Chain A
Amino acid sequence: MGTRRTLGRTSRIAATLAAGALALSLTACGGDDDGGGGGDKGGQQDGGKDTATSVTLPKLDGESLEVAAVWTGAEQENFKKVLAEFEKRTGAKVTFVPAQDPIINFLGSKIAGGAPPDVAMLPQPGAIKQAVDKGWAKPLGAEATKELGENYSPGWQEIGKVGGKQYGVYYKAANKSLIWYNAQVFENAGAAEPKTWDELLTAAQTIYDSGVTPFSVGGADGWTLTDWFENVYLSQAGPEKYDQLAKHEIKWTDPSVKEALTTLAEIWGKKDYVAGGASGALQTEFPASVTQTFTGGDQPKAGMVYEGDFVQVNIGETDAEIGTDAKVFPFPSVGDTAPVVSGGDAAVVLEDSKAAQALATWLASPDAATIQAKLGGYLSPNKNVDVSAYPNDVQKKIAEALVAAGDDFRFDMSDQAPQAFGGTPGKGEWKALQDFLKNPKDVAGAQAKLEADAAAAYGS
């Protein structure tokens, strides 16, 4: 870590500039090294030639900006470095305002107080829409939209739009279609990384036969269950149905939902497949579901755990090394193609000014994303960010999967739903799926409950 940071300080800007322009050549040779390799290469090449920046920013001496986001800890530190680079290039002064979840309520009080931040990072499409409906968000200007168009696939642009106008720049992404596994367990069982659902079931059986429970499910937190469902549903029913269900245009009593739940029950329904059985899983919170998979040597509580790239943070709390002890494979395809369910944080301008627009432009540029990518724990939907910028193989793999999905990714469904349905502990979809985990035979009952709650929450 230390070496990478010092390296980064001296050559970061240089590397950044090089990265965008040399994306192709670097991907070719950047695949087989890890650690700070990307930084090294960028630095070397820079010495010779490349000096051009990929984004043009206006001079903003004397201007000051406020950016609000819910990030804490290392994530916040890393983001501040991106802001520092912006300050350096434009001369503006940027202050980071720490916010609390749900950020939309935080912004509400700030706006009511007459001092909203200039730019805010909003986590869900629903929140952006809410901000637009309330007249808080301002559309992006021409430069920011242009920068966005160059670097983002249409799908990622689309989810930042409300009513045809571009409001959000998805600066940070989460890949929620990953299954993390304990490499030792897989090796002991002689199991291979599965590509399809059937292979996943075979691998699970093999692991079970070897004497380890295959899955760890963090069922005390309802959102891990909705994410499970979303991956199965997206892959099995396809993106169109997924969008319809997300908007509640089709009912939860639809046969496609039945099929997805039945498929899910192939894992959830076997009590020996889930660590602690259903009742144990329902009391396991997400962080524990990760740590119990990567502690306990040859006999962890479970062999695999499903969740997004942020699982790394929790693995960091154990002794397991990411990439050697803890490995990852994309969520296998249930239907024709493997699902890519994502989440993310979008920058939205709240106080329209030249400086705020410039910051949005900056955040849409590969330069900004590359700075944070190098620092780790971050994933960018920006397709012009060189994969070699990510600090390790696992990160590279996750980023590749996300970018390769192009426009086929779908945003987390429960994040798109009204909060009463998709985001409240013990209510709506969270509770319905917890009940389903408890009683996986009752598919029809789960569907009926989901539909009743959805109808109440969507008001239709």
Chain B
Amino acid sequence: MTSATAAGTSPGPAAPKSRRSVTGTRRTVAALFLLPALVLLGALVVYPIGYSLVRSFYDQSGDSFAGFDNYQALFTDDGIRTALKNNVIWVVFAPTVATALGLIFAVLTERIRWGTAFKLVVFMPMAISMLAAGIIFRLVYDQDPDKGVANAVWVGVHDTFAESSAFPKAHPGRDSPLEPAGGGAFVTKRPVEAGTPVVVPLVGVAPDRMPEGAKQAAAAEPEDGKVTGTAWQDFTRGKGVGKLGGVDVAELGYAGMRIEAVKDGEVVASAKAADDGTFTLPAAADGALLRLPADNFKEPYNGLNWLGPSLVTPAIIGSYVWMWAGFAMVLIAAGLAGMPRELLEAARVDGANEWQVFRRVTVPLLAPVLAVVAVTLMINVLKVFDLVFIIAPGSSQDDANVLALELYRKGFASDQPGVASAIAVFLLLLVIPVMWFNVRRLRREVRR
């Protein structure tokens, strides 16, 4: 109040000496002082809103009145419907997760010595622009484990439990004695005989991708009473297949390839190829089909498709939480600092454990702050645009769509300002209840 009077009296010296009452008498002066603010507000806020409202009732070119056509388009267009659905997901999850994390951080950091340093670190993402954060997370979520840290971690964890194979891309070449056996395995077309060496030519593995020990392939020697053969890369660098189905110089053996002999669906014998690709099976394999089981060819695990249609929205919400949890934490920590300690102490004296104190005393006392944080984040989330625009690749932008992005796309990319204005008005309508809630709360605070 004092500052207000000070501001009011500052032009005093210039005004007539007799100081009249503050209200009523100097209306013109008041208007004069209000004018710049009103003009600015009017030109920069009220007029654009009004114009958007008017524009939303006109057609694409803006020449003729279109009634509610644009609003009808708003609720029938598939793109807008996904946007709406995603907005709901955003509004429900992003603020709650960010607030919950902020609460946890705030409560925990209050107890530890390096709390401020920790808070600083958590708050730091707020210093980055949304655009930069978007670019960072576009990389984090990159599918290639060599680039995207999310998949690097995921694949790392996965590969410690399930190993990939040495020959993921190996496959039969043309006129091959092998055929696919389903599930990624390959099987010989004809039964093998003991004493006649079997050829198992495959292609598709570059020499530098071969297992360490692989040596030049050798034709198997026939052995009485045993099935022998060679499994090798039937492809000479720079020359192609060479002798089709025959071992050429500089072709490498598939060291470590597993081979099974199958009779009537049952594995009767199995072997592993030596470094030069040769293998020997006992007599039991005579007359069986040779199968190369699918685990020889298992593709390396490539991680999750973070930015694919199904995960893209949660992934982007994750990046949003990364940015805004710090903001929630700082506000909640401020609320915590202002909390009367006596209540906590009293509860502890009464025998409540820490969880009960948190649950029954801290959270209820913090409720107003939590509500303010959640509501502020909600308003923020409703207009989220930059993160989605940047993180979602073109192919899944449709699946990650939100209203603000759709507004931009309709207005500037597909040249439909009418529909875009309708989306803008709709967004405004969505924000109004939340804003009203916030304003009312603020007023109550002031009255208190």
- Seen from chain A, the residues whose Cβ lies within 8 Å of a Cβ on chain B are 105, 187-190, 205-206, 208-213, 219-222, 272, 276, 279-280, 282-283, 285, 298-299, 419-420, 423-427, 430-431, 434, 438
Do residues B395 and A210 form an inter-chain contact, with CB atoms below 8 A?
A: no
Chain B interface main SS type: loop
A222 touches B205 (CB 8 A): no
Partner pick for A282 among B203, B204, B235, B395, CB 8 A cutoff: B395
Are B204 and A430 in contact, with the CB atoms below 8 A? no
Evaluate contact between A209 and B237: CB separation under 8 angstroms: no
6 A-B pairs within 8 Å (CB atoms) are namely A190-B239, A210-B206, A211-B235, A283-B305, A420-B413, A438-B395
Q: How far is the CA of A206 from the CA of B238 in the complex (A)?
A: 10
Q: Which residue on chain A has the smallest CB distance to residue B173?
A: A209
Contact call B415/A420, Cβ cutoff below 8 A = yes
Contact B414 A427 (CB under 8 A): yes
Extra A-B contacts (8), CB below 8 Å, given A210-B204, A276-B143, A420-B416: A211-B203, A220-B395, A222-B394, A282-B395, A419-B414, A426-B396, A427-B79, A427-B413
Chain B, range 360-413, C-beta contacts under 8 Å to A: 393-398, 401, 409, 412-413
CA distance A419 to B302 in the complex (A): 36
B238 x A222 contact (CB < 8 A): no
Residues of A contacting B144 in the complex (Cβ-Cβ under 8 angstroms):
276, 280
A283 near B79 (CB under 8 angstroms)?
Answer: no
Q: Contact at A426–B401, with CB atoms within 8 Å?
A: yes
In the assembled complex, which residues on chain B have CB atoms less than 8 Å from the CB atom of A425?
394, 397, 409, 413
Which residue of B206, B241, B394 contacts A430 across the interface (Cβ within 8 Å)? B394
B263 within 8 A of A: no
Report the separation of the CA atoms of residues A423 and B409 in the bound assembly, to the nearest whole angstrom: 11
Q: Which residues of A contact B398 (CB under 8 A)?
A: 426-427, 431
Q: How far apart are the CA atoms of A438 and B394 in the complex, in Å? A: 13
Complex Cα distance A425/B393, Å? Answer: 9
Residues on B with beta carbons closer than 8 Å to the beta carbon of A222: 394-395
Question: Which listed residue, A205, A298, A419, A431, touches B206 by the CB 8 Å rule?
Answer: A298
A311 to B432 CA separation, bound complex (whole angstroms)? 49
> In the complex, what distance in Å separates the CA atom of A188 from the CA atom of B233?
14
Is the beta-carbon distance between A283 and B204 smaller than 8 angstroms?
Answer: no
In this complex, what residue of B is CB-closest to A272? B169
**C-alpha gap A206/B237 in the complex (Å):** 11
Q: In the complex, which residues 175-207 of chain B have their Cβ closer than 8 Å to any Cβ of chain A?
A: 203-207
Q: Does B142 belong to the interface (CB within 8 Å)?
A: yes
Given A427-B414, A434-B395, is A283 in contact with B169 using a C-beta cutoff of 8 Å? no
**CB distance A419 to B240 under 8 Å?**
no
Contact pick for B397, options A187, A211, A426, CB 8 Å? A426
Shortest Cβ distance from residue A74 to the other chain B in the assembled complex, whole angstroms? 24
Interface digits, B415-442 against A, CB 8 Å rule (1 contact, 0 not)? 1100000000000000000000000000
Docked pose: A219 CA to B394 CA in angstroms: 8
Task: Please pick, from B174, B206, B239, B307, the residue contacting A211 in the complex, using a CB distance under 8 A.
Answer: B206
Residues from chain B with a CB closer than 8 A to the CB of A208 are 169, 204
Chain A residue nearest to B394 (CB atoms) is A425
Tell me, in angstroms, the Cα distance from A385 to B241 when the chains sit together.
45
Q: What is B's interface to A at a CB cutoff of 8 Å?
A: 79, 142-144, 169, 171, 173-174, 203-209, 233, 235, 237-241, 302, 305, 307-308, 393-398, 401, 409, 412-416
Taken together as a complex, chains A and B put the C-alpha atoms of A189 and B233 apart, in Å, by 13
Contact B143–A283 (Cβ < 8 Å): yes
Q: Is the CB of A211 within 8 A of B204?
A: yes
Docked CA distance A446–B119 (Å): 51
Bound-state CA distance A457–B144 (Å) is 36
Choose from A212, A279, A423 the contact partner of B305 (Cβ within 8 Å). Answer: A279
How distant is the Cα of A283 from the Cα of B151 in the complex, in angstroms? 14
**Complex Cα spacing A460 to B300, Å:** 48
* A426 to B397 CA separation, bound complex (whole angstroms): 6
| Contact of A280 with B240 at beta-carbon distance under 8 Å, contacts A208-B204, A222-B394, A419-B415 already known | no
Q: Which of A190, A206, A279, A431 contacts B308 (CB 8 A)?
A: A279
The answer to whether B395 and A188 have CB atoms under 8 Å apart is no
With a cutoff of 8 Å between Cβ atoms, the chain A residues found around residue B302 in the complex are 276, 280
Asked whether A427 lies within 8 Å of B409 as measured between CB atoms, the reply is yes
Q: What residues of chain A lie closer than 8 Å to B238, measured between beta carbons?
A: 187-190
Give the CA-CA distance A420 to B205 in the complex, in Å: 44
Measured in the bound complex, the distance between the Cα atoms of B2 and A342 in whole Å is 72
Chain A residues near B307 (CB-CB < 8 A): 283
| Cβ A426 vs Cβ B395 within 8 A | yes
Q: How far is the CA of A219 from the CA of B397 in the complex (A)?
A: 13
Q: Are A299's CB and B394's CB within 8 A?
A: no
The answer for the CA separation of A272 and B203 in the assembled complex, in Å, is 13
Query: Are A209 and B394 neighbours in the complex by a CB distance under 8 Å?
Result: no
Q: Specify which chain A residues have a CB less than 8 angstroms from the CB of B233 in the assembled complex.
A: 211
In the complex, which residues of chain A have a beta carbon less than 8 angstroms from the beta carbon of B235?
209-211
- Given the complex, which residues of A lie within 8 Å of B207, measured CB to CB? 211
A278 to chain B, nearest CB (A): 10
Bound-complex Cα distance A279 to B308 (A): 7
Contact A419 B241, beta carbon cutoff 8 Å? no
**Contacting residue for B142 out of A205, A279, A283, A423, CB 8 A:** A283
Question: Which among A272, A283, A423, A438 has the highest number of chain B CB atoms within 10 Å?
Answer: A283
| Residues from chain A with Cβ under 8 Å of B205 in the complex | 211
**B303: shortest Cβ distance to chain A, in Å?**
11
CA distance A205 to B172 in the complex (A): 11
Known A279-B305, A282-B396, A420-B414: A210·B237 in contact at CB below 8 Å: yes
- B206 contacts A220, C-beta separation under 8 Å: no
- The answer to whether A209 and B241 touch across the interface, beta carbons within 8 angstroms, is yes
Give every chain A residue within 8 A of B206 (Cβ-Cβ). Answer: 188, 210-212, 298-299
A188 and B237 in contact, given A210-B206, A427-B398 (Cβ under 8 angstroms): yes
- Contact between chains at B413 and A190 (CB < 8 Å): no
Q: Chain B residues with Cβ under 8 A from A211's Cβ?
A: 169, 203-207, 209, 233, 235
Smallest CB separation, A230 vs chain B (Å) = 18
Residues of B within 8 A of A213 (CB): 169
CA distance in complex: A440, B240 (Å) = 29
| Bound: A432/B174 CA distance, A | 34
Closest to A221 in B: B394
From the candidates A187, A212, A272, A426, name the one contacting B394 in the complex (CB within 8 A): A426
Can you name the residue of chain A whose Cβ is closest to the Cβ of B210?
A211
In the complex, are the beta carbons of B209 and A299 less than 8 A apart?
yes
- Rounded to whole Å, the gap between the CB of A211 and the closest CB of chain B is 3
Is the beta-carbon distance between B240 and A206 smaller than 8 angstroms?
yes
In order of increasing CB-CB distance, the 4 nearest A-B pairs are: A211-B206, A426-B397, A209-B203, A282-B395
Given that A220-B395, A434-B395 are known contacts, is A280 also in contact with B413, CB under 8 Å in the complex?
no
**Which residues of chain A have C-beta atoms less than 8 A from B143's C-beta?**
276, 279-280, 283
Distance between Cα atoms of A221 and B394 in the complex (Å): 6
Q: How far is the CB of B434 from chain A (nearest CB, A)?
A: 28
Contacts of B174 in A (CB 8 A): 205
CB distance from B392 to the nearest CB of A (A): 8
- Min CB–CB distance B178 → chain A (angstroms): 14
Residue of A with least CB distance to B207: A211
Complex CA gap A209/B203 in Å reads 5
- The interface residues of chain B lying within 8 Å CB-to-CB of A427 are 79, 398, 409, 413-414
Which residues of B have CB within 8 Å of A423? 413
B236 CB → nearest A CB, Å = 8
CB–CB A285/B393 < 8 A: yes
A219 contact from B169, B171, B395, B412, Cβ within 8 A: B395
B420 to chain A, nearest CB (A): 13
Which of A189, A209, A282 lies at the interface centre, i.e. has the most chain B CB atoms within 10 A of its CB? A209
Chain A residue contacts of B204, Cβ below 8 A: 208-211
Residue of B nearest to A105 (CB): B412
Residue of B239, B412, B413 ringed by the most chain A CB atoms within 10 A: B413
Shortest C-beta distance, A189 to chain B (Å), equals: 7
List the B side residues contacting A206 at CB < 8 Å.
Answer: 240
If A211-B169, A219-B395 touch, does A424 touch B414 (CB 8 Å cutoff)? yes
Task: Chain A residues near B240: list those with CB within 8 A.
Answer: 189-190, 206, 209-210
B135: min CB distance to chain A, Å:
12
Which partner residue on chain B sits nearest A430 by CB separation?
B394
CB distance from A455 to the nearest CB of B (A): 15
